[in-house]
Every structure is written in structure tokens, then in C-alpha cells.
Chains A and B, each alone.
Chain A
Amino acid sequence: MKVAIVKYNAGNIRSVVNAVKRLGYDPILTDDAEELRTADKIIFPGQGEASTTMAYLREHGLDKVILSLTQPVLGICIGMQLLCRHSEEYNTECLGVFDVDVKRFMPQHHEDKVPQMGWNTIENCKSELYKGSTMPEYVYFVHSYYVPLCDFTIAETNYIQPYSSSLHKGNFYATQFHPEKSGSVGERILKNFLEL
């Protein structure tokens, strides 16, 4: 099976390569349209800021490539946010796979620190990505922007308010958390995706 990881200007991509390798696959890290189109599974990972990553994708034609994909795609963290319609982070137009807008966390109490950094639970999980999970389970998050609950929500997390920690539409899947840093729970989620 050919697993491709989208290479672009976001951080922490190496961790995803490592995590996929730990599961026994040999992923390729690429920004080549043909390589991406012919892969069986695609991971669109990263940690970063919406406007500069989006600008990079457009500049390199990767926006069109991602939108044209028909095989299973997994967006992670900023990858998930870029698959949405718009982000409040520097007022950025995104890819629009998920017809929902990304908002900034607004602290209600002093304890509500932004970014949310650390382990939080995912609940109401409804997708084959979460096969075998015993809920609620902890996964690792680092983010300042969030996707509200919507029709595409397949897992919820509560931080300041309940929001979407995972989305699904057609061949596109996404997680706000980092499965590659979420211990054995994260490994199972990645494995479920790779075995779709």
C-alpha cells in the first residue's frame, strides 16, 4: 500500500512520518501531484498558521491537488482546519471541503488558556476511525482555533465549549488532535485510517 504524506511548509510533519513507520508502513513525503494522486492513502498533517500554509498550498498548486483526491485523506491539526471553508486566523479562505468556519477560542475563565495544550477526551465518536475505542479516551491537542460542532462532526471535545475534534465527509477525514503524539490510542486511530 502506498501512503503519501503531503509535504508543505507546516511544522511537525516528521512526527507523522515516524508514527506511520511505527505501524509498519513505508510512507513517502511528497508535494508531487502525481505521487499524491496515485497513493492509496494520504495524510495531510502539520502544525502551523493558516494564512502562510494556505498561501504555500496555492503557490504550489497543492490546493487543487488536494481537492481532486478521491482516495481516503486524513487531515491533522492545521491540516483539518485548512480543509474547512474559512479560518479566523488572519481571515484566511481555506479549501472548503468541510462547509464550516474555523473560530478562535475565546477564554471565558482565567483557567481557559489558549492554546489548548495537552490531553483531552474525545466523545460521541461515530466513524470507523474510532473502531475499538473505549470512550472517553484521551488524545493530545495543541491549538488556538477550533471547528464548531457541525454536520460533519464525528468526535467532540469540550474545551471552553464543546467543539469538533474530528470531521468526516466522503473520502475526507480529519482530526484536530495529533494521533501521532497520542500514545497507543492515537496509534489505533492512525491504524484504523490506514486500514480503511
Chain B
Amino acid sequence: MLAKRIIPCLDIKDGQTVKGTNFVNLRHAGDPIELGKAYSEQGADELVYLDITASHEGRKTFTQLVTRIAEEINIPFTVGGGINELADVERLLIAGADKVSINSAALRRPELIDEIATHFGSQVIVVAIDAKCIDDTVHPNGHPEIDGKWNCFMNGGRLDTGRDLFEWAKEANERGAGEILFTSMNHDGVKTGFADVALRRLSDSLTIPIIASGGAGKKEHFRDTFINGHSDAALAASVFHFGEIPITELKQYLLKEGINVRI
């Protein structure tokens, strides 16, 4: 049976990991390769490296880093941040990334998804969607995720595009995305669990895997998103970086809870 995946996300700025100083006695937690290796040894199923540098020089550093990651890491990894056109995708795939994650660029120009799918195949495209439940007054039951309106945001969550989450995810699916990485802005950083109601609706309406992101605070949240949210994978950053949830422990727990994970 296909295993549910656990994916740590590493934010990279000028070639260094941004968070993550309290990680399993690792002397160089700022080194994206050392940190990635440590995660891999703990049992991470994939890694996501997100470039949060804005400058041109930073982009060059990031591409060089991707080459080194590909040389040293023996599990699949996705890279994202600042991908605007096909040439960016090609550069990162040639450097050795297994997948690329696109966000704002796809909202600005959805055809980019078709282009990447045609040139490199759907399996390399992760469409990342940052969405926020903007209207939680329409529901009588206090459950904004059920009948509230979810809007997609771009530019790092700063700009409301007005696009509906479920419609956009469906379009991305049809255009050839290989996976959807959905981050709930309502849940991100709050550590009260993933947006499982919305995730379930996404997962049940699309034909591609869904990665849950935003809201992980304890082990139970991962179990819940796999069982209630029907998520195929779960992504988190701070709970892993700060050693709050060791991945080895998390996987043992999930296995005990009857969830199929790779040990």
C-alpha cells in the first residue's frame, strides 16, 4: 500500500536555512544539506526547499545549492520560491530537483502549468496554494471551513486574488499539476491542526495527491489530517525544526494509529 508521506519544509535565505537552531544536536542546523540529511535519516519521505531570497544574486546561490542537494540527498526533494517561467523550472530540474513548486506565477498565468506538464511531465509540478477562509459569517454552525468562502492569495499571502480555492485547485489539476500543496492561512502558525474539512473536500474532488500544510502542532494533527482530511502527505516546518516532534517518533505513533507510513 502506498504510504502517507511526512515532508519537512526548509526555508532558505542566501543559501542558509532560516529556522532551525534547536534541531537534534545538529551543529550546522543552518546548513540546508546537513539539515536535509538529518531529516532523511529520521525518516522524512521527501524534502521541500523554499527559496525566500528575493535578489537575483540569491537565486544564483539557490541554484548552486540545489545542485549540491541533488548530489548528497538520497530521497526526493521539491524546490520552490521565485519560479516565474519555464526557464526557471528547467534550470532547477537540470540542477537536480525532482519537483518544482509554483504558486503566484501559476495564478498570474495558469498556462504555465500546461507548459511545464508538456515539457517535463505532470510529476514535476506541485501547485502550491495559499488560501484563507475570508467569510466565516455565512455558516450557522461555527465551522468556517464547511460553507465559508476560501480565497486564493498570492505574493506570499499578501494579495487576495478573489479566486475560489476549490475552483483553482480543480483547474490546476486539469491543466496538468501533479500535486496540490494547500496551505490554510487561517491555520498556519496557529498549531491547532490542519484545515481538515477543506482538505477533505479538495482531496475528494481532485484526481491528484494533496499535501496538507499549515497548522501542525502535535502528533495527533498528522493522524487527523490523514484520517479526516484524506490528505496524501503532510508538510510542516517549525515542529520539526525546533525538535518539538521528532519524525521518527511521529512515524511510530502514526503506525500505531493504523496509518500506513514508511518506517
What is the interface of chain A, defined by CB distance below 8 A to chain B?
11-12, 14-15, 18-19, 21-22, 47-49, 107, 110-111, 113-121, 138, 140, 142, 158-159, 178, 180-184, 186-187
Besides A11-B121, A48-B121, 6 other CB < 8 A contacts? Answer: A11-B124, A14-B96, A117-B178, A119-B3, A180-B74, A183-B40
Select one of B1, B122, B204 contacting A115, CB under 8 A.
B122
Q: Which residues of B contact A120 (CB under 8 A)?
A: 1-3
Q: List 5 A-B contacts (CB under 8 A).
A: A14-B96, A110-B204, A114-B207, A118-B45, A118-B209
Q: Nearest 10 CB-CB pairs, A to B?
A: A138-B262, A119-B3, A119-B262, A142-B123, A181-B76, A18-B71, A120-B2, A14-B96, A118-B2, A183-B75
Q: Which residues of A contact B96 (CB under 8 A)?
A: 14-15, 18
How many residue pairs link A and B with beta carbons under 8 A? The number is: 78
A121 to chain B, nearest CB (A): 7
Chain B interface helix/strand/loop/mixed: loop
Q: Are A12 and B98 in contact (CB under 8 A)?
A: yes
Report B19-57 CB contacts with A as 1/0, cut-off 8 Å: 000000000000000000000100001000000000000
Most chain A Cβ neighbours within 10 Å, of B45, B75, B232: B75
Q: Is B196 on the interface with A (CB-CB < 8 A)?
A: no
The residues in B between 198 and 214 inclusive whose CB is less than 8 angstroms from any CB of A are 204, 207-209
B235 CB within 8 Å of chain A: no
The residues of A that contact B72 with a CB separation of less than 8 Å are 22
Instruction: Count chain B residues whose beta carbon lies closer than 8 angstroms to a beta carbon of A.
Output: 32
Q: Does B94 contact A (CB under 8 A)?
A: yes
Give chain A nearest CB distance to B229 CB in angstroms.
13
Known contacts A113-B209, A181-B75: A138-B3 contact under CB 8 Å: yes
- Minimum CB–CB distance from B244 to chain A (whole Å) comes to 24
Cα(A183)–Cα(B2), bound, Å: 16
Q: Would A118 and B178 be within 8 Å (CB), given that A18-B70, A113-B209, A113-B232 are in contact?
A: no
List B contacts of A121 (CB < 8 A).
1
Cβ contacts under 8 Å, B93 to chain A = 11
- Nearest-neighbor residue (CB-CB) of B233 within chain A: A118
Bound Cα distance A119, B46 (Å)? 10
The answer to whether A11 and B120 have CB atoms under 8 Å apart is: yes
B123 pairs with A117, CB closer than 8 A: yes
Asked if B2 and A47 sit within 8 Å, CB to CB, the answer is no
Q: Which residue of B lies closest to A22 (CB)?
A: B74
- Interface-centre pick from A12, A47, A116, A187 (highest chain B CB count, 10 A): A12
Complex CA–CA separation, A113 to B231 (angstroms) = 12
Give the distance in Å from the alpha carbon of A63 to the alpha carbon of B123 in the complex: 26
Residues of chain A with a CB closer than 8 A to B204's CB:
110
B74 lies within 8 A of A184 (CB): yes
B209–A117 CB distance below 8 A: yes
Asked whether B11 is an interface residue with its Cβ less than 8 Å from the other chain, the reply is no
Roughly how many angstroms separate A38 CA and B259 CA in the complex, as a whole number?
A: 48
- A117 CB contacts on chain B under 8 angstroms: 123, 178-179, 209
A15 touches B232 (CB 8 A): no
Verify if B149 is at the interface (C-beta below 8 Å from A). no
B window 111-162: CB within 8 A of A: 120-124
B248 CB, nearest partner CB in chain A, Å: 14
B223: CB under 8 A from chain A? no
